[in-house]
């Protein structure tokens, strides 16, 4: 069968608006996907639905179609997007209305069944992560556009691939190859030089969006349209493969892909071949993401300038102690951005950040808006804040629960209104960690130099609920031989002291010359809770790369 060219035009709700049009006009495509959903997005859409029951989908997608629906139809490109969010049926209706208004004869289908909110009282949104076979059913029956709710990000690729190549649910190696391709594409320009440790090696001012040339055996080539910005190489693909993953087994509802079997090969300029991927049956349960309101949050940052920074911070804390006594959660962070004998006031200043949380909005409003501002003329010399605190804003809490495959009514709603039930996985295997594989021989001892880790390795980090992962990879066999032995869990904790009291698990992926560290609980109750100043751990990997340790001179 012919190669299937699948592109991506969105990595999140709010991504580059023109990307849909750019991908349709930039080169050949068979399918164009858009990933609009994240854990935080589901909370945002849940709050939208509270205000208007007919809402709950990514409105940006509709606005993009106003400019591009006719173009997609003219070029025969099928569109597959999870922009349906909490209301895929509603979005499908809006797309039909738009097509009718412009006189464009497209067939619109949608996938539903993921919404389990009614089964989880107290949740704002509870949605199971569905696989790709609902999408495949819609496409096999002639849909031009498929919108879904909460499917796995990779399902946007596995669904079209299964439909095009005729894959059955048990063809695990093929499905796993498509999952890996889908995982590379799902975050858009992160595969083409965006957010990349070695970004200076190419022009990433406006990276092009990625696409995959998929083959019937599940292998793929990751590339981008000719003439677009950014670059695609083994490093950019490795970085994205490690993003928001755990161990060697990357589980999904259709298949568990073995990341320790992935082979990456440079296949020419801006082309990386991905093959060798082995797949296994999926685990027995589907992941369900639960979003609920956790209470109210407020914050203020006090600016401490010049001398006696620690004493000034202690004074503020003491002055506010009584006012904060009844607030359920209080967190202080002193950020030492100051330096001695600074030549600007800003670089002479540190920030004392106070964050409060409580179920009662009035409590967090009173605690800061009143007590903190009353100190304006009665505290440390030079008293001022970055911005006055407000009344307090609601924050969300995310958690995972799991349900059997058969407990979720996965349904493809076709363009003609027919409803096709998608069978749950018939064969499942309990997920187990893969034992650490054999590591390369360590480098022979030799002279070392104290230097930043990032001179020899790249990193990418991200969030999964309250956990974070930090993927670290070497660019040469010699650097991998050193990294595999030098960066133990204990050394990782030394370099990132914020992880010292938390469970940390290391996973080795020799085929990618990579180590992946999972840090449990560092993000509290998830991104919407804003537990730390980098609530999605996006820069955790870059912090690690900036830390100094003794590195063999031959690698430098």
pLDDT digits (tens, 9 = 90+) for 205-214: 999 999 999 9
Query: Both 42 and 105 in a single domain?
Result: yes
Q: Which helix (H) or strand (E) segment is 4 a member of? A: strand 4-8
Residue 323, classed as helix, strand or coil, is coil
Neighbours of 128 (CB within 10 A): 25
Residue 393's pLDDT is what?
87
| Whether residue 454 sits in one domain with residue 414 | no
Record the tokens describing residue 11, joined without a space: 């990595």
Q: Give the pLDDT score at 86.
A: 96
At residue 371, the pLDDT reads 86
**DSSP bridge partners of 291:** 125, 398
Quote the tokens at residue 217: 């055996």
Which residues on adjacent β-strands are paired with residue 221? 213, 273
Q: Which domain holds residue 407?
A: 4-289+401-421
* pLDDT value of residue 530: 74
Specify whether 116 is located in the same domain as 236: yes
Q: Are residues 90 and 30 in the same domain?
A: yes
Buried b (16+ CB within 10 A) or exposed e, 83-104: bbbbbbebbbebbeebbeeeeb
Q: What is the pLDDT of residue 535?
A: 84
Domain count, the chain: 2
Domain membership flag for residue 274: yes
Domain shared by 408 and 522, yes or no: no
Residues 6+ apart with CB under 8 A from 374: none
Q: Is 405 helix (H, G, I), strand (E, B) or coil?
A: helix
Does one domain contain both 111 and 12? Answer: yes
Residues 334 and 349: their CA atoms lie apart, in Å, by 11
Position 126 in a domain: yes
CA distance 468 to 538: 9
Strands 384-385, 349-358: pairing kind: unpaired
d(CA 6, CA 79) in angstroms, rounded, equals: 10
SS (H, E, C) 515-535: EEEEECCCCCCCHHHCCCCCC
- Residue 303 has phi, psi (to 5 degrees) of -95, 120
Distance CA 192, CA 196 (A): 9
pTM of the model: 0.94
Answer whether residue 547 is part of any domain: yes
CA 554 – CA 443 distance, rounded (Å): 10
Q: Are residues 52 and 155 in the same domain?
A: yes
Read off φ and ψ for residue 244, nearest 5 degrees: 55, 45
pLDDT of residue 174: 98
Residue 127 lies in a domain: yes
Residues 21 and 131 in one domain: yes
Is 341:304 a contact under the CB 8 Å cutoff? no
486 within a domain of the structure (yes/no): yes
Measure the CA–CA gap between 365 and 134, rounded to whole angstroms. Answer: 46
pLDDT-flagged residues of the chain (< 50): none
Residue linked to tokens 């974070």:
468
Structure tokens belonging to residue 556: 């430098």
Question: Is residue 190 situated within a structural domain?
Answer: yes
The reply to whether 73 and 204 lie within a common domain is: yes
Structure tokens at 548: 């100094």
pLDDT at residue 1 in the model: 61
User: Is the domain of 405 the same as that of 546?
Assistant: no
Contact 412, 419 (CB under 8 A): yes
Any domain includes 43: yes
For residue 526, the model assigns a pLDDT of: 73
Q: Looking at the structure, do residues 162 and 280 belong to the same domain, yes or no?
A: yes
**Per-residue pLDDT reduced to its tens digit, 76-99:** 999 999 999 999 999 999 999 999
DSSP letter assigned to residue 207: B
Residue at 367 is within a domain: no
Alpha-carbon separation of residue 299 from 43, 396, 521 (angstroms): 21, 16, 21
Q: CA 451, 452, 454 angle in degrees (round to 5)?
A: 135
pLDDT recorded at residue 249: 97
Residues 508, 411: one domain?
no
| E-strand stretches of 314-410 | 329-335, 349-358, 384-385, 393-404
């Amino acid at each position: 069968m012919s190669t299937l060219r699948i592109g991506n035009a969105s990595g999140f709700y709010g991504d580059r608006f023109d990307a849909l049009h750019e991908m349709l006009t930039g080169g050949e495509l068979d399918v164009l996907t858009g990933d609009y959903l994240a854990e935080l997005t589901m909370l945002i859409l849940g709050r939208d639905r509270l205000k208007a029951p007919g809402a709950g989908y990514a409105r940006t997608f509709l606005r993009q179609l106003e400019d591009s629906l006719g173009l997609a139809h003219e070029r025969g490109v099928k569109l597959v997007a999870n922009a349906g969010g909490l209301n895929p049926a509603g979005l499908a209706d809006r797309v039909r209305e738009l097509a009718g208004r412009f006189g464009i004869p497209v067939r619109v289908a949608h996938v539903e069944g993921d919404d389990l909110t009614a089964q989880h009282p107290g949740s704002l949104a509870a949605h199971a992560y569905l696989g790709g076979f609902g999408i495949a059913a819609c496409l096999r029956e002639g849909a031009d556009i498929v919108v879904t709710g909460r499917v796995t990000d990779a399902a946007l690729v596995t669904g079209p691939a299964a439909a095009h190549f005729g894959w059955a649910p048990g063809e695990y190696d093929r499905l796993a190859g498509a999952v890996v391709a889908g995982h590379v594409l799902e975050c858009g320009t992160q595969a083409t030089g965006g957010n990349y440790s070695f970004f200076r090696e190419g022009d990433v001012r406006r990276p092009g969006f990625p696409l995959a040339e998929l083959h019937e055996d599940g292998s793929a080539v990751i590339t981008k349209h000719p003439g677009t910005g950014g670059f695609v190489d083994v490093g950019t693909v490795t970085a994205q493969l490690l993003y928001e993953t755990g161990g060697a087994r990357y589980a999904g509802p259709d298949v568990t892909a073995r990341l320790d079997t992935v082979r990456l090969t440079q296949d020419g300029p801006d082309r990386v071949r991905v093959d060798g991927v082995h797949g296994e049956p999926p685990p027995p349960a589907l992941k369900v993401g639960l979003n609920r309101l956790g209470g109210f949050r407020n914050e203020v940052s006090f600016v401490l300038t010049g001398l006696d920074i620690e004493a000034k911070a202690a004074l503020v804390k003491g002055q506010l102690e009584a006012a904060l006594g009844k607030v359920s959660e209080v967190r202080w962070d002193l950020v030492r951005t100051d330096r001695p004998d600074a030549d600007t006031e800003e670089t002479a200043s540190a920030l004392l950040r106070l964050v409060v949380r409580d179920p009662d909005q009035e409590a967090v409003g009173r605690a800061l808006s009143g007590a903190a501002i009353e100190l304006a003329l009665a505290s440390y010399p030079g008293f001022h804040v970055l911005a006055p605190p407000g009344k307090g804003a609601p924050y969300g809490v995310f958690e995972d629960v799991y349900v059997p495959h058969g407990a979720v009514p996965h349904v493809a709603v076709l363009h003609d209104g027919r409803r096709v039930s998608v069978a749950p996985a018939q064969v499942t295997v309990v997920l187990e960690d893969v034992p650490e594989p054999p590591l390369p021989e360590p480098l022979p001892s030799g002279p070392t130099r104290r230097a930043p880790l990032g001179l020899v390795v790249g990193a990418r980090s991200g969030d999964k609920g309250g956990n974070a992962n930090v993927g670290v990879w070497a660019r040469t066999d010699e650097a991998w031989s050193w990294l595999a032995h030098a960066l133990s869990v204990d050394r990782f904790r030394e370099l990132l002291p914020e992880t010292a009291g938390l469970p940390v698990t290391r996973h080795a992926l020799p085929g990618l010359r990579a180590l992946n560290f999972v840090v449990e609980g560092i993000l509290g109750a998830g991104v919407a809770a804003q537990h730390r100043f980098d609530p999605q751990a996006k820069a955790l990997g870059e912090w690690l790369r900036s830390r100094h340790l003794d590195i063999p001179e031959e690698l430098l």
